Structure 1
Amino acid sequence: MKKYINFFIRFTVTALLVLYLFKKIEITQFLNVFVLINPFVFLFASLLYILSSYISTLRWKIFLQEKDLKISTLFSLYLIGSFFNNILPGIIGGDVVKILMIKEKTGIKKAIASVFMERYTGLFALLLISLIFFILFYNKIPKQIFLWIVPVSFFGFFVGTVCLMLISKIKFFQEFKDYIFSYTKKQILKGFFYSLIVQFIVIISVYVIFYGFKISISFFELCVFLPIIILISMLPISVSGIGVREWCFILFFGKSFGEPQVVAVSLLWFLSQAFASTVGGIEYLRFKKPLNVKKK
């Protein structure tokens, strides 16, 4: 019941954000911009999302350390997770689905640890990209108070890491931490390298969509602001970040490129991910049940 209540709250917040969004901008202007997109740009952005998912699967494989689980199987499970995140959001998250589908094979703690490290290195890479471009191009970035979210978020990431290590004294978290510390430096660095590739592919996909709308945006500016938009959109405020993401695009890019234009970019970016995620729905029909293979 608690899950359903939480979903209802998030759905309500999403609806209110979207309603207020289209009250603020002229919907006719938005539609006029939206229909101008080249369909090949949309398809290319969707393909980039699938490519990023495949590289994310390679990253997951590094931390899973399970020889019997092939890359092809994990890729299918990753797409299934994306399907639940983008197409069927709310009650159960994509990462939870992935954990449930491999826990019989790997054990619950190992499954959680692998997904955690996959996401942890991804988040670190995302924030690091934003911080580096923030430092390198600070003088060229439009000045606004929200710009300081970049270093604050990076600092908060390390504070959160320290806090996680402190609560690991609890038995379950202690065992969880043991799994985390069992990873070698080579595994972590390799996973981080894949994470950098994934995040740059995501940034490129949004850059391509801007280009598809004939909006000339600086790539380094996108490298600074997009990671923060992704981070804020990940907060459990709305369903799949809908509404929150669009308002963030207005906040960071609206003055430079126009509110209807950047909302169109944000929405098309989400739709390209959702479209690519439908492949995960097909894969889910194939699997349906967890991998009931006994752990060796």
Structure 2
Amino acid sequence: MSKENTIKLLKLLLKISVSSVALYFVFRSVNIRDIFKIIKNSDYWILFPTVLLYLISKYITAIRFQLFLKVIDINIPDSLNFRLYLLGMYYNLLLPGGVGGDGYKVYYLHKLFKSPLKNLLSLSIIDRVSGMVAILLLGEICAVFLFYKHSVLFYLSLISLPITLAGYWGGLYLFYKNYLSVFNKTNIQSLSGQLLQVVCIILLLLLVNVKQDYLPYVFVFLVSSIVAAFPFTIGGIGARELTFLYGAEYLNLDMNASVTVSMLFYLITAFSSLCGIYFGIFPEKVNVEGRPN
């Protein structure tokens, strides 16, 4: 085995270990029987609109990616873009310790359009940052309403809103000025996609019979989304649940319901990612627009 493959294997084993330890702490702190009881008494029909809204949120994200592509003069049909995005989701699930979906999209577009790898890698990073900025902004808005009685946290949340937006705009202006042409549109798309995922969390809370005080749960979900984005675990599993656990403890929320919602959300993301399995088995079916592979 080469040194590079050895390093990749060690990183994967480390991620598996971190996820396992995080899940151990989570399940040690909650009552497993209560979680099964919550799931048993849930309104399962709510899962259908939740999965649908999640898929719509990913479609909006795919449109955002397509808009970023146009900035570097890559124009692909909507159908190809969404098929490629579904395949990327599938590879993110299948290859959590390897190249992943983002890397595959960069490779595929470089192969298809001969666009410089530097441009595609930059685009991939900006696409990720755009989504993260949307999560930060929504989290800060939640914090403003959640901590309005705590003067320090309230003002910190209020001040951080324009700082986050200005920091993102300033970073693009300094290093990737050409992307400012789609700044407003992509921000709206990012916020729209993330808001739909917030609705998904509210629906999951309804599913587990939490019918009030959604704001703190939504805030914890947004924080967990940021934590899960860091590549320390397998697809964020363990990190999200641990964040929900400690967030529930800090904000006096129902721990069992919080962990259950977190696990259900992960299962929805995994199930949705499997929508790209057909293109994973038959990757040649991704490109049916007649362009050379």
TM-score by length of 1: 0.81
Aligned equivalent of 1:110? 119
Aligned equivalents of 1:278, 1:184: Cα separation in 2:
34
Q: Which moved more, 1:43-52 or 1:79-88?
A: 79-88
CA separation of 1:103 and 1:237: change in aligned 2, threshold 3 A? same
Query: Identity percentage over the alignment?
Result: 21
Aligned-pair CA distance for 1:44: 2.1
Aligned equivalents of 2:54, 2:65: Cα separation in 1:
16
Aligned equivalent of 1:271? 267
Q: Which moved more, 1:195-204 or 1:103-112?
A: 103-112
CA separation of 1:144 and 1:93: change in aligned 2, threshold 3 A? farther
Aligned-pair CA distance for 1:4: 1.1
Aligned-pair CA distance for 1:39: 2.6
For residues 219-261 of structure 1, give each alpha carbon's deviation from its aligned partner in whole angstroms, at most 9, with x where no partner exists. 4434433221100111122111111111111112246342222
Aligned-pair CA distance for 1:2: 1.0
Aligned equivalents of 1:150, 1:231: Cα separation in 2:
19
Q: Secondary structure at the match of 1:240?
A: coil
Q: 1:119 aligns with which of 122, 128, 134?
A: 128
Q: 1:31 aligns with which of 36, 57, 61?
A: 36
The residue type paired with residue 262 of structure 1 is: S
> Contact between 1:100 and 1:290, CA under 8 Å: does it hold in 2?
no
Aligned-pair CA distance for 1:120: 1.8
Aligned-pair CA distance for 1:158: 7.3
Aligned-pair CA distance for 1:71: 1.1
Q: 1:231 aligns with which of 214, 226, 231?
A: 226
> Contact between 1:127 and 1:154, CA under 8 Å: does it hold in 2?
no
Aligned-pair CA distance for 1:160: 9.0
Aligned equivalents of 1:105, 1:195: Cα separation in 2:
26
Aligned equivalents of 1:150, 1:78: Cα separation in 2:
35
For residues 71-115 of structure 1, give each alpha carbon's deviation from its aligned partner in whole angstroms, at most 9, with x where no partner exists. 111111111121222344222222112111211234123322332
> Contact between 1:87 and 1:277, CA under 8 Å: does it hold in 2?
no
Count residues with an aligned counterpart. 280
Aligned equivalent of 1:99? 106
Q: 1:243 aligns with which of 234, 238, 245?
A: 238
Aligned equivalents of 2:223, 2:17: Cα separation in 1:
24
> Contact between 1:215 and 1:257, CA under 8 Å: does it hold in 2?
no
Aligned equivalent of 1:169? none
CA RMSD of aligned residues (A): 3.3
Aligned equivalents of 1:154, 1:87: Cα separation in 2:
37
Q: 1:85 aligns with which of 70, 83, 92?
A: 92
Q: Secondary structure at the match of 2:26?
A: helix
Aligned equivalents of 2:97, 2:159: Cα separation in 1:
30
Aligned-pair CA distance for 1:139: 2.3
Instruction: Show structure 2 runs of 5+ residues with no match.
Output: 1-5
> Contact between 2:241 and 2:259, CA under 8 Å: does it hold in 1?
yes
Q: Which moved more, 1:62-71 or 1:265-274?
A: 62-71
Aligned equivalent of 1:194? 189
> Contact between 2:144 and 2:158, CA under 8 Å: does it hold in 1?
no
Instruction: Show structure 1 runs of 5+ residues with no match.
Output: 167-176
Map 1:1-296 → 2, pairs under 5 A? 1-65=6-70, 66=73, 68-106=75-113, 107=115, 108-139=117-148, 177=175, 180-185=176-181, 187-254=182-249, 256-288=252-284, 293=291
TM-score by length of 2: 0.82
CA separation of 1:7 and 1:144: change in aligned 2, threshold 3 A? farther
